[in-house]
Structure formats: C-alpha cells, structure tokens
Amino acid sequence: MELLGLYHYWVFAVLLMIGFYAVIAKSNLIKKLIGLSIFQSAVFLLYITMGKVEGGTAPIIQAGVENPVFSNPLPQVLILTAIVVGISTTALGLGIVVRIKEEYGSIEESDIQEIDRR
Amino acid sequence: MIVLFGVFLLSLMVITALAIVRTHHLFVAVILTGIFSLLMAANFFLLDAADVALTEAAIGAGISTVLFLGALALTGEHERANTSNRLLALSVVAVTTLLVIYATFDKPRFGDPLAPVHQHVAPWYLDKTAEAIDIPNVVTAVLGSFRGYDTLGEVFVVFTAGIGVLFLFGARPSYSSGAARTNTTDPGQGLRHYLIPRVVGRLLIPFIFLFGLYVQFHGDYGPGGGFQAGAIIAAAVILYALLEGEEQALRVLPHKLLIGLMAGGALLYGGVGVAALLLGGNFLDYSVLAADPIVGQHIGILLIEAGVGITVTGVLISVFHAFAGRRRY
C-alpha cells in the first residue's frame, strides 16, 4: 500500500513533466494545449491521491453502516469543478488557436514568430 | 489486487502520455488523450472519488475529444517536426522530475488517516453534513452549500469562457475575400448516410438524456450533480448534431436559446443567493428558503445544481457549434 502511494506521486511527477515538456518543447500550438491538459490532469491526480484514506469509501453517507471511513470530500469537490473549468479554458485556448490559424495561416510557433518579425 | 490494478492503470497512463507527446499525427494524439482521460477516470474511481471519475469520463473522454477534433478540422492534422531546443527542454524536465520525486519521500504515507490534509475542515464537513443539510452525498453538500461561493465562481468562469469563445468566433478572418474554402464535406449533412452510427445513435440518445437527468437530480444521493449532468446532456446533443447535421441540431436548440441557457443558469444560481439575502439570511445561505432550515438547504441545493447544469450544458453546446459551424479558411 505504501509503495502504491509513492508510485502515485511518482506518476504525478512524470505526467506533470511530460505535459510540461510538450508545452515548452513543441512548436505546434495544438500540441502545446494537449500538453497543458496532461499537466492539468497530473495536478488532479495529486489532489485526489492525497484525499484517499486507507480502507475508506466514497464520501456518501449510508444508513446502517457502523463507523464508516470516508475519503476526504474536499479535494474531490475542488477537482470536480476544476475539470469543468479546465475544459472551458481549453475551449477558449482552442478558439484562439483557430483564430491564429485564420490570420497567420499556420499554428507552428516558429512560423508565427517569423511573420511577426516582418 | 487493487494495488496491482492501480499500478497497471498508472503505468498505462504514463505510456499513453509519452505516446501523445511523441506522435506527430495530431489526430492520433487527440484520440490517445481520450484514452488517457478514461484511464484517469478509472484511477479516480479506485481512489474513492466517484463524482470526479464521472466528471472526468464525461468531459475528458467525451467532450474534450470532440472539441479538439473540431479544432483540428480547422487547423490541420500534422505537426511539423521541430527539434530546436529539445536538449535544453529535456534537461530542464529531467531535473525537475527528479526534484519532485525527491520531494515525494517527505509526503505523508498514502491513505494515512492522520495526514494533515484530513485534519482541517474535512472532518467537520463529514460530521455536519448529516445534521445541517441531511443529504447522503457529502461531495454535493460541500459543493452546493458549504462552499457555495466557490462553485458560484466556477460557474461564472465557465460562463465567461463560453462568452469568450463566442466573441473570438464572432470575428471574421481578415482575408476572407475570395480565399474562402468550404469544408470538404457539407456541414449540414452529418453522418446521415451512414446507417449503423445513425441507428445506434438514435437508440442511444434518449437514454443518454435520461441518464443525464438522473445524474442531475440524483446528485444529492449518489455520485452526480450539475457539472456531470451538464456534460452528459451536452454530449447527447453533440451526438445528435454529429448524426443529423449541424443545421438540424440548431433547429432543435437555436443559438438564442443556447445563449439564454448560458446566462440563465448562472443567473439562477446568483438569484438563489439574492433570494436568501432578501429573506434575511446571508448570501447563498439556503436555510432561510423554507420554514425548516433543512428543507431550505434541499431546495437551495436543487436550484443551484439546476443552475450549474443549465450553464454547463449551454456553454458546452455553444462552444461545439462555434467550432463545428466555422468554415475552413
């Protein structure tokens, strides 16, 4: 169980950095947005992992269960809303990318910078 | 067994993420992102976060994939290979990964009930939900009532993002004269000529709607609520638009109605808060909405969850139409 916990945190670190790599090293704007959403998912994973309580269940109160152990509801609430806000902001980002494509004719960062320099 | 399954899911997620970053075909990357979200949802379920798993499955694997594909149709599917500062980026990423992994050894043991995160307000929420609000799902209680301000803020962020997309696509491209190319397939047609998706889709759509409504109104008792229901209902409408074509979907749910939904849901949420003020309570304090404070809480949570669901549905469908209805220039 302890090892699984550490493994969760390691996967969080690796996913975070895979997403970050896509954001800083890739020149395609859509790829950057995909990287950003992986980065975001990694943060969600961290929060939900911290909320887990050993032997716990989902925080839904059931009648007739003696001394129930619940996982922490608070990180779940934060992440639930964060996922929906995340998709809205991603949609806004995609909208900006589409507009950039329409104005510049490309979504590669190097092309856009070159056009801007002219 | 659970440990094994968890390790398996987490490893698959890392492999999928690596494949997403490595591929130069953006279509493949987007489909892999959908798979990644589904794995993430399964993992959330293992970590006792049923509500979050439901949201991630509906949003990440469903709507996000459709939006990315809609954007790809407008921008092109191939990524140019670019290796200008790859080594620098790789070394930065490697060093940071090692630092974060080093930091994880100081974290509390996984699942430790005595970890600091479980000591602050969470036990209070778990204790007080039954007596103050009396609904079984603590997540909904915290989301709707205890932390109603937060959720109001989130709803307005979703609303603002939706308005932002509509504003961006309200502008016409500056070189549209003559250079305009229409989509290769007629956007009005949809998948009407494909028999199997059409038959299966027609069969599924009513049940998706029904499930969406169930998730909306059963959110007090089980996993669910406005955010998830909004995403599921939007998914049903998007499926309808894919099958029957944009035009037909807009005939059923016109733009004006969608904008009304976006604003109406947020207004309903804010309105409940103001109603509580007028009845002599604090903003978003639902106890004053009825003679019995607990009944008041129930009414308040039902109304604000409806507001959340309406706004999320309106925003997601409007954003989809904004992408799908855009001509390719």
Which residue in A has a C-alpha nearest to residue B156's C-alpha?
Answer: A85
Among the listed residues A102, A109, A105, the one whose alpha carbon sits nearest the alpha carbon of residue A23: A109
Domain borders along chain B are 1-81, 115-329
B287 Cα to chain A: minimum distance (Å): 21
> CB–CB of A80 and B104 under 8 A?
no
Across chain B, mean pLDDT equals: 89
User: Which tokens hold the place of B268?
Assistant: 């309903």
Q: Which helix (H) or strand (E) holds B192?
A: none
Q: How confident is the model at residue B111 (pLDDT cuts 50, 70, 90)?
A: confident
CB nearest to A15's CB, from B17, B115, B161? B17
Whether residues B10 and A7 touch (CB distance < 8 A) is answered with yes
**What phi and psi values does residue B192 have, to the nearest 5 degrees?**
-60, -30
Of B105, B227, B323, the CB nearest to A80: B227
Distance (Å, whole) CA A84 – CA B54: 12
Quote the pLDDT of residue B189.
Answer: 61
The alpha carbon of residue A66 is apart from the nearest alpha carbon of chain B, in Å, by 14
Report how far Cα B54 is from the mean position of its chain's Cα atoms. 10
Shortest distance between the Cα of A30 and any Cα of chain B, in A, equals 8
pTM as predicted: 0.90
ipTM (interface pTM): 0.94
Crossing angle of the two packed helices A73-104 and A29-51, in degrees rounded to 10: 180
Q: Mean pLDDT over residues B92-114, rounded?
A: 90
Mean pLDDT on A23-32:
92
- Cβ contacts below 8 Å, chain A against chain B, sum to 302
Q: What are chain A's domains?
A: 2-55+70-117 (1.10.287.3510)
pLDDT at B174: 63
Decide if A20 touches B, using CB distance below 8 A.
Answer: yes
Average pLDDT for B66-70: 93
> Rounded to an integer, what distance in angstroms lies between the CA atom of residue A26 and that of residue A9?
25
Q: Across all residues in chain A, what is the average pLDDT? A: 90
- Nearest chain B CA: its distance from A108 CA (Å): 8
Out of B43, B89, B319, the one facing A91 most closely (by C-beta) is B319
What digits encode the pLDDT tens for the residues B2-43? 888 989 999 999 999 999 999 999 999 999 999 999 999 999
Express each pLDDT in A47-95 by its tens digit.
999 999 988 888 988 887 777 889 999 999 999 999 989 999 999 999 9
Question: Mutating which of B126, B177, B221 best tests the A interface, going by the most A Cβ atoms within 10 A?
Answer: B126
Contacts of A108 in chain B (CB under 8 A): 79-80, 82
Chain A partners within 8 Å of B137 (Cβ)? 59-61
